[in-house]
């Protein structure tokens, strides 16, 4: 029997399991088959687990006994910086090449309770630093829409696995766009939840004040189902928040949608992106929503602020990878030499660049000039959103300034790469939730490259993202 993986959703798969049209084993086998065929070209996985069929058998037992939840038997791919007990987790770094997780991340524990089927761990930029998956120590992932292009990053492997029909849904992490940007490049949905909505326990920290775990799916509904399964307060992560749900209920069908026109005039944005964006506004207007011009005057400082705060947090978070506690160790003549040699051999260029930058901005002579100032401006950016959400229910922008770029195009120019994050980074600084929904495409040569629209809501208001996201994806 052939299962139409391309048009499959969680609900469709669940219905088929319950009706007995096919089993979780059948579905898992279909994905494994697709991986065998496609992943040598795409390289979305660093490892496909050897016990996928056994996991699916267990899910089938649960289904047969009538105890299946909506996610039971659903095949899912996991970014390589999220811990699954007893399995390798490397963050696509050489330094953790042989590291095996000793416990489950909270999100994994929750998914295990649902009875999902973990297909494998996906490729990423090393320790989630990057926007193209080219910073993986294990080679880049390719975009399923054009193998010469990047899938985005840092969660590029997760996005490509879903877009390439090699998993039904996936988890990624987003510190400055790492779920939304690859979702946009790969034509799928990606959600960065409110900071504190999802536990970070068991996720390798990059920028702890910005990191969030979130779902990838082909539809808004799939992202919503997965988000509902992983969210919630967790005693293992004191930054998780209670009762975030739906502070502002979406009562009316007509939403006020804010467009930060000035912010969109920032240089370097592809004309076709703006055209496509205007088309998305037209569609939403036709559906009865109101488009309102808003100002977010301090968002232009976001990238500068982000690239001070992130390296600062990175330099501190990366200190634990010293060749003593985890993973790779290169022995020298003294203990301190072990430390230098292990980090030298184990960490890649972008990670080193950020450690150096972060150590600099945190050093006593520059702390006030950079790190403190960045934190002050961060508060001002938060205020911008606060003011805007008094006026509108939701804010809309493109997800990225252009479609997927070519492999090698930006990798030697970190500033160009950082500019990719112009629309996604401010959201993490403010801690608000945002979703990227596929909308339109740009024809380049003979390939139609997918584009994404980003919807942004106030803290805890994911529901409004799902509501409008569904409108945007209506055919
Ligand atoms: N591309 C951004 C960066 O390199 C975002 C990364 C992320 O969200 N993990 O920092």
pLDDT digits (tens, 9 = 90+) for 284-336: 999 999 999 999 999 999 999 999 999 999 999 999 998 888 878 899 999 99
Task: Compute, in angstroms, the gap from residue 154 CA to the centroid of ligand 1.
Answer: 6
Q: Give the model's confidence band at 143: pLDDT under 50 very low, under 70 low, under 90 confident, else very high.
A: very high
Question: In terms of residues, how long is the chain?
Answer: 475
User: In this model, does residue 1 exceed pLDDT 90?
Assistant: no
Q: Give the model's confidence band at 251: pLDDT under 50 very low, under 70 low, under 90 confident, else very high.
A: low
User: Do 429 and 382 form a contact (C-beta atoms < 8 A)?
Assistant: yes
User: In this model, does residue 167 exceed pLDDT 80?
Assistant: yes
Integer Cα distance of 37 and 149 in angstroms = 19
Residue among 427, 416, 419 at smallest CA distance from 400: 419
Burial of 414 (0-12, 13-18, 19+ CB in 10 A): middle
User: In this model, does residue 249 exceed pLDDT 70?
Assistant: no
Q: Give the model's confidence band at 418: pLDDT under 50 very low, under 70 low, under 90 confident, else very high.
A: confident
Burial of 319 (0-12, 13-18, 19+ CB in 10 A): exposed
User: In this model, does residue 359 exceed pLDDT 80?
Assistant: yes
User: In this model, does residue 246 exceed pLDDT 70?
Assistant: no
Task: Compute, in angstroms, the gap from residue 67 CA to the centroid of ligand 1.
Answer: 39
Neighbours of 262 (CB within 10 A): 14
Q: Which two tokens stand for residue 88?
A: 């390798």
Integer Cα distance of 397 and 174 in angstroms = 17
- Please report how many Cα atoms fall inside a 13 Å half-sphere around the Cα of residue 67, on the Cβ side: 9
Integer Cα distance of 199 and 217 in angstroms = 20
Pocket probe for ligand 1: among 178, 355, 420, the residue whose CB has the most ligand atoms within 8 Å is 178
What is the number of the ligand 1 atom nearest to the C-alpha of 428? Answer: 8
Q: Whose C-alpha lies nearest to ligand 1, atom 4?
A: 130
The catalytic residues are: 79, 154, 178
Q: Which two tokens stand for residue 34?
A: 């697709």
Residue among 172, 205, 130, 180 at smallest CA distance from 44: 172
What is the number of the ligand 1 atom nearest to the C-alpha of 131? Answer: 1
**What is the per-residue DSSP string for 147-199?**
TTB---SSSHHHHHHHHTTS-SEEEEEESSSTTHHHHHHTTSEEEEPPTTTB-
> Measured on CA atoms in the order 147, 149, 154, 158, is the torsion positive or negative?
negative
User: In this model, does residue 16 exceed pLDDT 90?
Assistant: yes
Q: Give the model's confidence band at 248: pLDDT under 50 very low, under 70 low, under 90 confident, else very high.
A: low
Cβ of 177 less than 6 Å from ligand 1: yes
Q: Give the model's confidence band at 253: pLDDT under 50 very low, under 70 low, under 90 confident, else very high.
A: confident
Helix (H) or strand (E) holding 12: helix 10-19
Task: Compute, in angstroms, the gap from residue 314 CA to the centroid of ligand 1.
Answer: 11
Give 390-409 pLDDT, tens digit per residue: 999 999 999 999 999 999 99
User: Do 464 and 393 form a contact (C-beta atoms < 8 A)?
Assistant: yes
pTM above 0.95, yes or no: yes
Integer Cα distance of 295 and 276 in angstroms = 21
Cβ of 154 less than 6 Å from ligand 1: yes
Q: Give the model's confidence band at 250: pLDDT under 50 very low, under 70 low, under 90 confident, else very high.
A: low
Task: Compute, in angstroms, the gap from residue 83 CA to the centroid of ligand 1.
Answer: 19
């Amino acid at each position: 029997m052939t299962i139409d993986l391309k048009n499959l959703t969680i609900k469709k798969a669940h219905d088929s399991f319950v009706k007995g049209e096919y089993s979780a084993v059948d579905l898992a086998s279909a994905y494994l088959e697709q991986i065998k065929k496609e992943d040598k070209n795409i390289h979305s996985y660093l490892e496909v687990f050897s016990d996928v069929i056994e996991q699916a058998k267990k899910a089938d037992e649960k289904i047969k006994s009538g105890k299946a939840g909506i996610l039971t038997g659903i095949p899912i791919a996991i970014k390589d910086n999220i811990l699954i007990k007893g399995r390798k987790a490397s963050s696509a770094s050489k330094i953790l090449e042989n590291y095996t997780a000793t416990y489950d991340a909270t999100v994994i524990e929750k998914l295990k309770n649902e009875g999902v089927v973990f297909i494998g761990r996906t490729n990423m930029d090393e320790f989630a630093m990057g926007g193209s998956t080219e910073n993986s120590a294990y080679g880049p992932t390719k975009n399923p829409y054009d193998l010469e292009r990047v899938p985005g990053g840092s969660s590029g492997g997760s996005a490509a696995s879903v877009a390439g029909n090699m998993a039904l849904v996936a988890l990624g992490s987003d510190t400055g766009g790492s779920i939304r940007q690859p979702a946009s490049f790969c034509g799928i949905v990606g959600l960065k939840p409110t900071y504190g909505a999802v536990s970070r326990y068991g996720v390798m920290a990059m920028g702890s004040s910005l990191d969030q775990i979130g779902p990838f799916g082909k539809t808004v509904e799939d992202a919503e189902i997965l988000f509902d399964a992983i969210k919630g307060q967790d005693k293992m992560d004191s930054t998780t928040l209670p009762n975030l749900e739906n502070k502002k209920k979406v009562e009316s069908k007509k939403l006020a949608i804010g467009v930060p026109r000035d912010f969109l005039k920032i240089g370097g944005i592809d004309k076709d992106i703006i055209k496509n964006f205007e088309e998305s506004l037209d569609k939403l207007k036709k559906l009865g929503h109101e488009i309102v011009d808003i100002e977010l005057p301090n968002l232009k400082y976001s990238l500068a602020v982000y690239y001070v705060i992130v390296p600062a947090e990175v330099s501190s978070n990366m200190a634990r990878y010293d060749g003593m506690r985890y993973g790779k160790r290169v022995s020298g003549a003294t203990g301190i030499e072990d430390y230098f040699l292990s980090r030298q051999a184990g960490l890649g260029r972008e990670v080193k660049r950020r450690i150096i930058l972060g150590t600099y901005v945190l050093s006593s002579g520059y702390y006030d000039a950079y790190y403190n100032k960045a934190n002050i401006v961060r508060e001002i950016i938060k205020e911008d959103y606060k003011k805007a959400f008094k006026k509108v229910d939701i804010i809309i922008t493109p997800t990225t300034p252009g479609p997927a770029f070519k492999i090698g195009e930006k990798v030697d120019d970190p500033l160009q790469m950082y500019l990719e994050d112009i629309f996604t980074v401010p959201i993490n600084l403010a801690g608000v939730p945002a979703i990227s929904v596929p909308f339109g495409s740009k024809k380049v040569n003979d390939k139609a490259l997918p584009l994404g629209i980003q919807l942004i809501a106030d803290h805890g208001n994911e529901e409004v993202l799902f509501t409008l996201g569904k409108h945007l994806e209506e055919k």
